[in-house]
Structure 1
Amino acid sequence: MMTRKFFLALAAAAVALPALAQPAAWPDKPIKFVVPFSPGGVSDGVARLVAQHLGQRLGQPVVIENKPGVSGIVGTQSVAHAPPDGYTLMGGTITTHAVNAFFNKNLGYEQVKDFVPIDLVGMVSNVLVVAAGSRFDSVQQITAELSAKPDSLTYGTAGPGTSQHLSGQLYQNISHTRMRQIVYKGGSQAMVDLIGGQIDMVFETVAAARPMIDGKRVKVLAVTSARRLANMPAVPTMAEAGVPGFEMQSWQGIFAPAGTPAPIVDRLGREIAAIVALPDVQDKLRNLGVEPDGRTSAAFAAFQNAEIVKWGKVIRDAGIQAE
């Protein structure tokens, strides 16, 4: 009898062991949210806003980790090679997940294959600004001068593949003009030189340019979005300003490493879409210059692929080669 009871107990324990070995329900520890750009920028602001609400909804802290460097490549590489367990997320942009591959032969990650899109948080428009004392008062005047004197004007950017660079390149492609790109380590340095008269123009994000616009230190000539912005209704679009078909918007999205379990991806997508839909979050996003969107995984993936095709053509038409 004792032997029989002993073996029955062992059998029961063996059945229970797999259940005991199962991991606790996700998430059971803090989640890391990598921002591949410096603190204080739009990507950082979006990440911190989403992380605060997401942590409350998931019951675990969402910890921001800034990993800037090389147009976002450093931080993006780290996420591409992270375990796909739902404990690593990142803020991705048009630069990191649509165009970096066209500028770098040895990127260290594949912008589609190595990631799963979670949520397209929102769209970011740029504005074309010139110094307050500039002789230019319209885009048409700039186009006329560049048509007569190719390469006679300069525009500042934060590097190849950034929204400033893509805006300038798209303008040149459509208007059949040429101007010289002056590369800076960051958009703020370009704005300083713009105000100081060292360069002629910058296609800067609305959030970064707004203090200079409100302070009358720069003039805003146009917005890069397809429609006028609600908080700048008097400013024409680039298309309205004489560059037909012009539309350039950067974007802020959230990605996880490829292979992250589908139930986790679905949960994250639902939670973040709900966060983006909150009125106070939408107000804060707009203050950052981000127009809320909220498309989740499948729709976001389709959008990302369309962006890769669109900007790949712009870059190839410009004769730009990956280095």
Structure 2
Amino acid sequence: MTLSANPSIVALAACAATLAMALQPAGAQPGGYPQQPVKLMVGFAAGGPSDLVARAFADQLGKATAQTVIVENKPGANAVLATEAVAAAKPDGLTLLAAATNHTMIPALYGGRIKFDAAKSFTPICTLASSATVLVVGPSLPVKTVAQFLERAKAKPGSLTFATPGQGSSPHLATEQFRKLTGVAMVHVPYKGAAPLVTDLLGGQVDLSFATLGSVLPHLKSGKLTALAVASRQRSALLPNVPTFDEAGVKGFTVDTWYGLLAPAGTSADAVRVLNREALEFARSPAVHERLASAGLEPQGVCGEPFAAQLAREIEANARIARELNLKVE
């Protein structure tokens, strides 16, 4: 005797299967990426803008793929330690780097001492966010304008201290460019990230910093720190009363800071596809926009080849600037 399936039951089963697949989180299809927890490495201490962006994206990726995404902070040597770890990882998309603008400065500052190529050792995924750079002073330096700051700095050369989140970091390079433009002499105090830097700036242990807006915005709003100027072509919507450096008399001084996602070179096309998709969803999300804006950051989604081209341009430009300023990490 031959048994035949009830057509209505077959149709119901097919519908159930289709619904089950539709309800699966994107990227969680059987055999798709990722099938294991993902590690997102940050080269700076917890609490800074790199860490904030990484954790926001980890939430997005984890929810979309139904996988655990672990943020691991590995500060030190201007993110070189974390970058080396990701460059040496398997290209399976399970170990990723939350990179920032300083990534393109590492080759010029460290030369052959690093164990990776800033371009060739990685697959560029997307930028995730951007932030304005702002000159801020703490309670140890009671000035209100760039003109007052320059007058004081030039009156006593070498008496002021400037803090950065690391030797060779983007704020460090920005400060050196500023020093070249204005002729001021100051003492560099490097930290292992933005969070400890801000703590000491608030406490008066250091005088000033060219900081990313995301790392200092709450303290600017509370009045504990003072912003003298923003290094952008236009005033920041978050600091409408703070002039640009052009407006403050330092012409041509602009600094762009980005935060993005890199994977080891050779990462599978499936992993790249999922990461690209989620990075773009991240940039479009109103909830993400609100979360980042509260910290002085804006979502950004430059992906794939355009991001790779941007990295190449910045690596070349930063090498030239480092030579001009004779910058290197001993």
Answer yes or no: is the 8 Å Cα contact 2:138–2:225 preserved in 1: yes
Shift of 1:120: 0.4
Partner Cα separation in structure 1 for residue 45 and residue 157 of structure 2: 35
Which structure 1 residue ranges, 4+ long, deviate > 6 Å from structure 2? none
Aligned equivalent of 1:297: 304
Q: Secondary structure at the match of 2:302?
A: strand
Structure 2 unaligned residues grouped into runs of 5+: 1-29
Aligned-pair identity (%): 37
Partner Cα separation in structure 1 for residue 181 and residue 109 of structure 2: 21
Is 1:113 equivalent to 2:120 in the alignment?
yes
Q: 1:85-110, CA deviations, whole angstroms, 9 ceiling, x for partnerless residues?
A: 22221201112x21122222311211
Partner Cα separation in structure 1 for residue 142 and residue 67 of structure 2: 54
Aligned equivalent of 1:47: 54
Q: Secondary structure at the match of 1:250?
A: strand
**TM-score of the two chains, using structure 1 as the length reference:** 0.84
Partner Cα separation in structure 1 for residue 67 and residue 205 of structure 2: 48
Shift of 1:277: 0.8
Cα distance change on mapping 1:117 and 1:103 into 2, 3 Å: same
Q: 1:148-190, CA deviations, whole angstroms, 9 ceiling, x for partnerless residues?
A: 6543433122321223312211211222433221233444444
For the aligned residues, what is the CA RMSD?
2.3
Shift of 1:252: 0.6
**TM-score of the two chains, using structure 2 as the length reference:** 0.83
Cα distance change on mapping 1:313 and 1:36 into 2, 3 Å: same
Is 1:101 equivalent to 2:113 in the alignment?
no
Answer yes or no: is the 8 Å Cα contact 1:102–1:322 preserved in 2: no
Aligned equivalent of 2:164: 157
Cα distance change on mapping 1:167 and 1:121 into 2, 3 Å: same
Q: 1:172-211, CA deviations, whole angstroms, 9 ceiling, x for partnerless residues?
A: 1222433221233444444454445444322122233223
Partner Cα separation in structure 1 for residue 86 and residue 191 of structure 2: 26
Shift of 1:82: 0.7
| 1:212 corresponds to which of 195, 206, 219 | 219
Is 1:250 equivalent to 2:257 in the alignment?
yes
Partner Cα separation in structure 1 for residue 287 and residue 179 of structure 2: 38
Shift of 1:308: 1.7
Answer yes or no: is the 8 Å Cα contact 2:49–2:194 preserved in 1: no
Cα distance change on mapping 1:32 and 1:218 into 2, 3 Å: closer
Q: 1:103-157, CA deviations, whole angstroms, 9 ceiling, x for partnerless residues?
A: 2231121111100110101112222112347342211233344456543433122
Count of aligned pairs between the two proteins: 300
Cα distance change on mapping 1:66 and 1:132 into 2, 3 Å: closer
Which amino acid letter does the alignment assign opposite residue 172 of structure 2? H
